[in-house]
Amino acid sequence: MATWFDESRLDAGAALEAGDHVLRTLAESGARVRRTAGEAAAATDEAVARAVELARPRAVLAAGPDSRLLRAVLEPWCPVPFVAWPAAGLPGWAGSLDLVVVLAPDGADTGAASAVAEAVRRGCQLVVACPPDSLVAEHAAGRWSAILPTATRDQLATAVVVLEYLDRVSLGPRADAEQVAEALDAVAIACSPHRDLAVNPAKMLAIALADANPIVWGGSVLAARAARRVAESIRRATGRSALAGDAEHLLPVIEAARQRDVFDDPFAEDSGDRRPVLVVLDDGVDDPVVREQRGRLRAAAAERGVRVETVTTEAPTEVARYASLLLSGTYAAEYLRIGLVED
């Protein structure tokens, strides 16, 4: 069965209404961050006050399946050794001198529950963001434990609560929940289904990717993580391939693209061979390594006639910029899904 992209569906009320449940969830991203931060505010204040009385931990250990997001944020900034441990339990060296942080958005993950139980048994300082009546919360009860209650089951909102705590105890970069929420709101306004595709960056990106194989790249650690998440969203939305990776992994794909022939018949039947399109997630990081890699990718794309699309953000903090890029790409993936129709 043939699949083609009908861009008129991106401004068609009936098609957009069919995807309303997903688009509404995306639009509420900022509200979820505010709600989660507000619910956890009192517990966060208490946890910060307790941390002030304790010595700086020997190391920070992010445990559980959702630890990779914390690693992307904290590794370049944390003033003490930082380890992400997504496996069940804790590494053998973790003890009472260390701080264990756990994200458990739905609170039912057995791996996260195992990690917090092990942290309590070893006497670690423990900070857990999870629903207060969940399996993880039950295992987290202990003398040195702080539970930051959440209810939205949103991974990003849950992470912002923990990152805001780590910011306040000088163990992480600035992570103001309100600034993250404002960045998400700005994307929701710009990418709203009620905005015409001529002025809607997510709809325009979806059109650019309609007949292409997306190659998504982000230069910084957080932009690279956003790129992986955006590529995953595109795969889920379309069932098509979408790649994300470091520059050296993506360059061979761009360099292998067939040169465009000016004599190709634009009305000829599609051969099914989709050309790559390079999507650059630019969070404003301009260090020499990122600049060099971006230059190589753009030069290769120009040489092979590969189209380049850039997603930018003006959010004030690293976490807010990550959230902005991720939501922009997720909107584009959803509009891509809405525009695809089957004969």
Contact 325, 226 (CB under 8 A): yes
Nearest to 84 by CA among 97, 96, 93, 75: 75
Between β-strands 275-282 and 340-342, what pairing exists: parallel, antiparallel or unpaired? unpaired
Q: What's the sign of the alpha-carbon dihedral 81, 87, 88, 91? A: negative
pLDDT band at 60 (very low <50, low <70, confident <90, very high): very high
**Residue 150 counted as domain residue:** yes
Q: What's the sign of the alpha-carbon dihedral 176, 182, 184, 187? A: negative
Q: pLDDT by residue (tens digit) across 120-142?
A: 999 999 999 999 999 999 999 99
pLDDT at site 271: 47
Among 147, 174, 201, the domain-final residue is: 174
Give the mean pLDDT of 89-103. 94
**Residue 38 counted as domain residue:** no
Is this prediction's pTM over 0.85? yes
pLDDT at site 87: 83
**Residue 216 counted as domain residue:** yes
Contact 2, 341 (CB under 8 A): no
Are residue 188 and residue 301 in the same domain, yes or no?
Answer: yes
What SS3 state is found at 33?
helix
Among 123, 154, 174, the domain-final residue is: 174
Q: Which domain holds residue 138?
A: 54-174
How many C-beta atoms surround the C-beta of residue 256 within 10 A? 9
Are residue 186 and residue 334 in the same domain, yes or no?
Answer: yes
The rounded percent of the chain whose pLDDT value lies above 90 is 78
**Residue 249 counted as domain residue:** yes
Q: pLDDT by residue (tens digit) across 167-194?
A: 999 999 999 999 999 999 999 999 999 9
**Residue 106 counted as domain residue:** yes
Convert 36-72 to b/e letters by CB count within 10 Å (16 or more is b). Answer: bbebbeebbeebbeebeeeeebebbbbbbbbbebbbb
Angle at 235 between CA 232 and CA 236, to 5 degrees: 85
Q: pLDDT by residue (tens digit) across 301-339?
A: 999 999 999 999 999 999 999 999 999 999 999 999 999
Among 129, 149, 174, the domain-final residue is: 174
Are residue 143 and residue 195 in the same domain, yes or no?
Answer: no
Burial-class residue 234 by CB neighbours within 10 Å (0-12, 13-18, 19+): buried
Q: Is the pLDDT of residue 233 over 50?
A: yes
**Residue 35 counted as domain residue:** no
pLDDT at site 343: 67
- What is the 3-state composition of the chain as percent helix, strand, coil, each rounded to the nearest 5? 50, 15, 35
pLDDT at site 30: 97
Are residue 170 and residue 187 in the same domain, yes or no?
Answer: no
Between the CA atoms of 119, 124, 127 and 131, what dihedral angle is there, to the nearest 10 degrees? 30
Contacts of 315 (CB under 8 A, 6+ apart): 179, 180, 182, 183, 186, 321, 323, 324
**Residue 320 counted as domain residue:** yes
Are residue 204 and residue 139 in the same domain, yes or no?
Answer: no
Between β-strands 125-130 and 212-218, what pairing exists: parallel, antiparallel or unpaired? unpaired
CATH code where residue 160 lies:
3.40.50.10490
